[in-house]
Copies of this chain bind each other. A is one copy, B any other.
Amino acid sequence: MNNFTFYSPTYFVFGKEQEEKTGSYIKRFGGSKVLIHYGGGSVIRSGLLDRVKASLTEEGIDFLELGGVKPNPRSGLVYEGIKICKENKVDFILAVGGGSAIDSAKAIAAGALYDGDFWDFYEGKPVDKALKVGTVLTIAAAGSEGSGDTVITKEEGMLKRGAGGEALRPVFSILNPELTKTLPAYQTACGATDIMAHVFERYFTNTKEVEVTDRLCEAVLLTMIKEVPKVIADPNDYEARANIMWAGMVAHNNLVGVGREQDWSSHNIEHELSALYDCAHGAGLAVVFPAWMTYVMKHDINRFAQVAVRVWGCHMDFTHPEETAMEGIHCLKQFLTSIGMPVTFKELGAKEEDIPALAEKIGLEKDETMGSFVKLTTKDVENILYLAL
C-alpha cells in the first residue's frame, strides 16, 4: 500500500425533503451572498429551484442566479459566472443540478478568487483557494458532490479538461434520491455507468496488497449491479435510487482509491468522444471501458479474474484464468447493454473514420504515454477505439 492522505470534509445531508434545509446549511457554512448556479429545464419545471430559493429567503440570505449550464459544461458560462461573482462580491456558490452544474460552479468558485484566466487551472495549475461551494444534487453520476474535481469544455477547439484541489470539495452536499425519480432511464443508466467507471479507474492498479480498497471498490460495484436494473424497471423505486445515489458519492470522494496508483485513461479517452459528439459522458464510458479492459487485460490476468469472480460471480477457471478474466468483461458488456447503454461505436453514433483524430486530440507527443496500469501511446488509444467498433 502506498502512503496517502484522505480528506473528505463535505457535510452530506441525505434523504427525503432535505433540500428544504439548503438555506440553513448555507448559513451554517458562512455564506451570505450566494450565486445559485443551475442548468435549466427540469430544476425549474419540477419546482426544485423555487423550493431552494424559498429556503434561502427564509434564512434571509441574499442571492443571484445564473442558469443555463449544459451537459459537458462550457467555459463561456464560467467566465460569465466569475464576472458576476467579482462584481457582486459573491461569497458562496450553490450548485443545483448534476455533475455539470457542480463542475461549472467549482470552476466559477476557483476563478472568482483568481486574477488570471480560470482556464489556467485546467491546464494544470493547482487550485489553492476557491469560494465555498454547496450542492443540491439531482443526478447520481459524476460524484462531483463529494470530490475536489471539475471538468470543463473550452469551446475553442472543444477541449475537455479537468482540474482539482481540496479547496473545491463542497462544504455541504444535499442528496435527496426523490429528486432523481424524474430522470429518464437513459440518463439514469449513463449516470450509473459513470459511477461504475469511477470505481474501475481506481481498481485497475499495479499497486499490490491494497485489499481494503479493493473490497470497498467491489462493494460499490456489487451495489450498482443489484440496484441499477431495479431503477430501470421502476423509476420510482426510492430505495434503489437511494442506494445508487450514495454509491455515486462513495465511488468518487476517493475512499475507494486510496493507497494505490490509479489509471484514468478511459476517462481521458472518453472526454474526446463526448467533446466531439456531445454524447453523454456515461454512454461514452460504456463504449470505451470494455474496449480498454480487453486491450490491457493481459497485463494482469489475475486482477481481471478477481473482479470477474468477486463482482460478477463468475466461477474461476484455474486452468485458464484468462477465460475468467474475459468472462468478467463480457458480463460488464451484457450488464451495460441490459440497462440500455451503447457498447459499440456504432451504437453511440460515433464514426470509425474519426478514430485517428480522436486519438490524436488527446494530445500525446510521439513516444509520450498516458495511464499507469498500462501506459498508452496514441497508437494504443487508436487500437482501443478500433476494439470498440
A364 interface hit (Cβ, 8 Å) = no
B14→A6 contact, CB < 8 A: yes
Q: A210-B243, A212-B220, A219-B212 are in contact. Are A4 and B11 (CB under 8 A)?
A: no
- Chain B residue numbers with a CB within 8 Å of A227 are 211-212
- Chain B residue numbers with a CB within 8 Å of A222 are 215
Measured CB to CB, the closest approach of chain B to A10, in angstroms, equals: 8
Measured CB to CB, the closest approach of chain B to A119, in angstroms, equals: 29
Tally of contact residues, A, Cβ under 8 A: 43
The docked-state distance in angstroms from the alpha carbon of A283 to that of B265 is 47
Interface set, chain A 161-194, CB cutoff 8 A to B: 177
Interface set, chain A 83-97, CB cutoff 8 A to B: none
- Checking B6, B15, B220 against A2 with a beta-carbon cut-off of 8 angstroms, the contacting residue is B15
The docked-state distance in angstroms from the alpha carbon of A10 to that of B219 is 23
Mark interface residues in A287-328 (1 if CB within 8 Å of B CB, else 0): 000000000000000000000000000000000000000000
A239 interface hit (Cβ, 8 Å) = yes
A110 interface hit (Cβ, 8 Å) = no
The docked-state distance in angstroms from the alpha carbon of A7 to that of B6 is 14
The docked-state distance in angstroms from the alpha carbon of A210 to that of B243 is 7
Interface set, chain A 234-265, CB cutoff 8 A to B: 239-240, 242-243, 246-247, 250, 255, 258-259
B219→A218 contact, CB < 8 A: yes
- Chain B residue numbers with a CB within 8 Å of A4 are 14-15
B7→A12 contact, CB < 8 A: yes
Measured CB to CB, the closest approach of chain B to A11, in angstroms, equals: 5
- Checking B11, B220, B242 against A259 with a beta-carbon cut-off of 8 angstroms, the contacting residue is B242
A16 interface hit (Cβ, 8 Å) = yes
A223→B215 contact, CB < 8 A: yes
- Checking B1, B9, B246 against A212 with a beta-carbon cut-off of 8 angstroms, the contacting residue is B246
A250→B216 contact, CB < 8 A: yes
Measured CB to CB, the closest approach of chain B to A62, in angstroms, equals: 26
- Chain B residue numbers with a CB within 8 Å of A11 are 5-7, 9
Measured CB to CB, the closest approach of chain B to A359, in angstroms, equals: 36
- Chain B residue numbers with a CB within 8 Å of A208 are 239
- Checking B5, B14, B177, B211 against A5 with a beta-carbon cut-off of 8 angstroms, the contacting residue is B14
Q: Across the A-B interface, give the 7 residue pairs with the lowest CB-CB distance, nearest first.
A: A3-B15, A215-B219, A209-B239, A9-B9, A219-B219, A1-B242, A6-B12
Interface residues of A (CB under 8 A from B): 1-16, 18, 177, 208-213, 215-216, 218-220, 222-223, 226-227, 239-240, 242-243, 246-247, 250, 255, 258-259
